[in-house]
Amino acid sequence: MAQKILITGGAGYLGSIIVPTMLEAGHKVTVLDNFMFKQNTLAQSCLNPNFEVYRGDARDERTLKPLIKDSDTIIPLAAIVGAPMCDADKIAATSTNRDSIITLVRMLSAEQQVIIPITNSGYGISGNDRECTEESALNPISIYGVTKVEAEKAVLDRSNSISLRLATVFGMSPRMRIDLLVNDFVYRASTDRAVILFESHFKRNYIHIQDAALAFEHSIDNFVSMRNQPYNVGLSNANLSKMELCQKIKAHIPDFVYLEAPIGEDPDKRDYIVSNARIEATGYKAQFSLDNGIAELIKGYRMIRNTVYSNV
């Protein structure tokens, strides 16, 4: 059934894929974004009568109130995303990633649905080879992870909500981010043909941006049976170390060279493997492999030569 969906931060990396996905599914979509990157990534949606867009701050209750009033489902994407960007402005990170969600939850009726994305970096450093399930202890090690975990708690405590714990997202988007790990390594392989690895054994999970958007659509379609739980969203065959990721990329770019630094640390020190069995049991199935995304990115980077496509 078609819904009225409010997406805050809907002109960002992920939102620029989710919005057209929801419109194609027949939903009415309203976007609130501050357009801090001066992007016009939703330009092609403006002709669609089911699309509306507003410029504003998702932390502003007066801005949110009239938009929330007519919404069936809220997808709060507005966030300061990534450990480096959050470290650069901890006040903005806290007020956007956590406090704006607490404000949003307070304003909603019990009938309104929320689907919130957080990061599975909330698992931090697992310290073993066991997969992290949604029942595993959360141990965020960055202000980004901490604020997103706190936001998830605020949303799930209200009921009638779903949390999607997204793996590291990769793939092309109209509001591109080159700083994400797969996107970054493929960019370096495509342009510099080399990368230096810090703590190359650290593992994490990955998900293509189109599959991340599909997870939101799947959650709307199956909301009643899925609600009030968190779900890991990633590729079950892509729990890879940074070294293993580079080996994947080298299969596409044979002259790519990667070296492990004998000293130094990764500032984003997450290290874990993740089970996606819970969301897969609901019928969700990712469609794009890591190899699909690497091939896509190689083509995309023939067009992009500008560091404006990042969050740092």
Note the pLDDT tens digit of each residue in 123-154.
Answer: 988 766 778 999 999 989 889 999 999 999 99
Strand order in the sheet with 73-76: 51-55, 28-33, 4-8, 73-76, 113-119, 161-166, 229-233
Predicted local distance difference test score (pLDDT) of residue 268: 65
**Comparing C-alpha atoms, which of 151, 140, 150 is closest to residue 269?**
140
Gyration radius of the chain over CA positions: 19
CA atoms within 13 A on the CB side of 170: 27
Structural domains of the chain in order of their starting residue, each with its CATH number: 4-176+207-234+274-287 (3.40.50.720)
Note the pLDDT tens digit of each residue in 5-48.
Answer: 999 999 999 999 999 999 999 999 999 999 999 999 999 999 99
Alpha-carbon separation of residue 79 from 43, 45, 64, 98, 219 (angstroms): 21, 22, 15, 9, 20
In whole angstroms, give the CA distance from residue 72 to residue 81. 26
